[in-house]
Amino acid sequence: MVGGGGKDSESVEAIGLEHSFVLSPTMSSIPGLLTLCPSRAELLVAREPLHQLYTVEKQPFARGKFAAVKRCRNVLNGEQFAAKLIRKRRRGGGPTPESLHEAAVLDLCRSCPHIVQLVQLYDTPLETILILQLATGGELQSVLDRDEIPEEKHVVRLLRQVLGGLLFLHNFDIAHLDLKPQNLLLTGPFPECDIKLCDFGIARHIARGADMREILGTPDYVAPEILNYEPISLATDMWSVGVLAYVLLTGCTPFGGETKQETFCNITRCQLEFPDELFQDVSPTAIEFISNLLTHDPSTRLTAQCCLHHSWLNIGPSTDKIPSFLPSEDSSTLSCNNIPVPDDEDLEDRQTRADSAYHNTFDKLFVGGQTAPKIGVACAANAVPLSTASSKLVVLPKRIGTAPTKNSLTPYAFLRF
């Protein structure tokens, strides 16, 4: 069955008999969404039924709230792909603005080697189906799930590829907004493989000077400006890069708490630590790299371009070339390496403001009050906000993992796909 089963589900053969597609611009209340232009849609949207060209496995190898991903095979040449089946809001309706947006972003990035490729697009009464390049090595998260801490040289090589893909996106003013190991796919067995960014369901086009505010992302990787409901930017991705580097080098997340509320509070306070037991074998330049990304002020974070020129990512031999679209090393933008160090008074004031912002924001988010932001928020009915008189938080790195805790909260509508 396609789309996770249920009485409305039909076989691939049945739903592949009909197809239609909306080519008009996306009409959505969600800012920053793109859509396919008619000429590109004409090339990508399949006109024949799905089953004439692909056989799709019944069981998904990945599943989210609104989508499932299954292996499929081209019946003509046997080549394998991944089929992402995105459920529609109503039977027989057009594609959702989010599915059109993801297709448009993928199509825009079709020449980037570090972003998964969109091959074809199908529209059926129940689902929009993206046929994607298959990364046979699975998610990067699977490496961490095996309690395997990658060697620093492998982290460097993979991060260069992640940043190459991110720079490509940022050159089009697109922020991914959900960078994490689950959204980084391996092309083969680790570590002798390449990496590709995937899952652009909550990516946003952020016009220059735009004031865009949304509550979205994944708890351990979300930036403080999102939690504080402040404007997001391309720099929001760079915070996630810093968390990703920390996680890959240690297997732990820098701000993880026992609950999601505690994790969020740790992030907004932004008290970054590098415990000796975790970083004794990590180079000082790696620590500097992370420190220059995990800064509370987005304007002080390294850009993707700066990161690719950072000394840590350019130590030792590398077979990866700097992307051809990367400006030369003498670019004036490289001055962002000079990150100011806040004084103690500033840190104390920042902590006070962060604590206040945390309690003001999450009392509304988890209770679902009338003044809570509406975009991208799914308030949990049984969630209880932290009291302002709660006991002192202990900020310690937490072992990263995918298994949800019992009765865990889901504060984001777009955690998966």
- Note whether 386 and 269 are same-domain residues: yes
CATH of the domain at 223: 1.10.510.10
CATH of the domain at 73: 3.30.200.20
Centroid of chain to Cα 321: 24
For residue 190, pLDDT over 80 is answered with yes
Q: Work out the mean pLDDT of the chain and round it to a whole number.
A: 77
The average pLDDT across 75-101 equals 91
Greater confidence (176 vs 346) lies with 176
- Note whether 96 and 147 are same-domain residues: no
pLDDT band at 90 (very low <50, low <70, confident <90, very high): confident
Degrees, nearest 5: CA angle 91-95-100: 165
Q: Give the pLDDT confidence score for residue 223 in this predicted structure.
A: 98
Q: Name the residue with tokens 């059926």.
A: 124
Q: Containing domain of residue 370, as a range?
A: 138-399
pLDDT band at 346 (very low <50, low <70, confident <90, very high): very low
- Note whether 251 and 168 are same-domain residues: yes
Greater confidence (328 vs 202) lies with 202
The answer to which of 173-177, 186-190, 346-350 has the lowest mean pLDDT is 346-350
- Note whether 356 and 230 are same-domain residues: yes
For residue 35, pLDDT over 80 is answered with yes
Greater confidence (123 vs 380) lies with 123
Asked if the structure places residue 3 within a domain, the reply is no
Q: Tens digit of pLDDT for each residue in 100-157?
A: 999 999 999 999 999 999 999 999 999 999 999 999 999 999 999 998 899 999 999 9
Asked if the structure places residue 406 within a domain, the reply is no
pLDDT band at 266 (very low <50, low <70, confident <90, very high): very high
For residue 342, pLDDT over 60 is answered with no
- Of 113, 133, 153, the position where a domain reaches its end is 133
Domain count, the chain: 2
Q: Give the pLDDT confidence score for residue 6 in this predicted structure.
A: 38
Asked if the structure places residue 45 within a domain, the reply is yes
Contact 137, 146 (CB under 8 A): no
pLDDT band at 28 (very low <50, low <70, confident <90, very high): low
- Note whether 270 and 169 are same-domain residues: yes
Q: Give the pLDDT confidence score for residue 89 in this predicted structure.
A: 84
Element (H, E) at 362: helix 344-367
- Note whether 366 and 217 are same-domain residues: yes
- Of 105, 133, 161, the position where a domain reaches its end is 133
Q: Give the pLDDT confidence score for residue 1 in this predicted structure.
A: 33
Q: Give the pLDDT confidence score for residue 225 in this predicted structure.
A: 98
Asked if the structure places residue 7 within a domain, the reply is no
- Note whether 104 and 77 are same-domain residues: yes
| Active-site residue list | 178
Residue 56 phi/psi, 5° resolution?
Answer: -110, 130
For residue 12, pLDDT over 50 is answered with no
Q: Name the residue with tokens 């080549």.
A: 79
- Note whether 371 and 247 are same-domain residues: yes
Asked if the structure places residue 123 within a domain, the reply is yes
Greater confidence (398 vs 292) lies with 292
Asked if the structure places residue 254 within a domain, the reply is yes
For residue 250, pLDDT over 90 is answered with yes
The average pLDDT across 334-357 equals 40
Exposed e or buried b for every residue in 303-336, given b needs 16+ CB within 10 A?
A: bbbbbbbbebbeeeeeebebbeebeeeeeeebeb
- Note whether 109 and 218 are same-domain residues: no
CA 217 – CA 180 distance, rounded (Å): 10
- Of 89, 118, 133, the position where a domain reaches its end is 133
Q: Indicate the Cα dihedral angle 324, 81, 5, 18, nearest 10°.
A: 90
Closest listed residue to residue 362, CA positions, set 128, 110, 354: 354
- Note whether 351 and 221 are same-domain residues: yes
- Note whether 154 and 200 are same-domain residues: yes
Q: Give the pLDDT confidence score for residue 207 in this predicted structure.
A: 87
- Note whether 177 and 316 are same-domain residues: yes
Q: Give the pLDDT confidence score for residue 323 in this predicted structure.
A: 56
pLDDT band at 65 (very low <50, low <70, confident <90, very high): confident
Centroid of chain to Cα 66: 16
Asked if the structure places residue 82 within a domain, the reply is yes
CA 187 – CA 193 distance, rounded (Å): 6
Closest listed residue to residue 181, CA positions, set 166, 167, 195: 195
Asked if the structure places residue 209 within a domain, the reply is yes
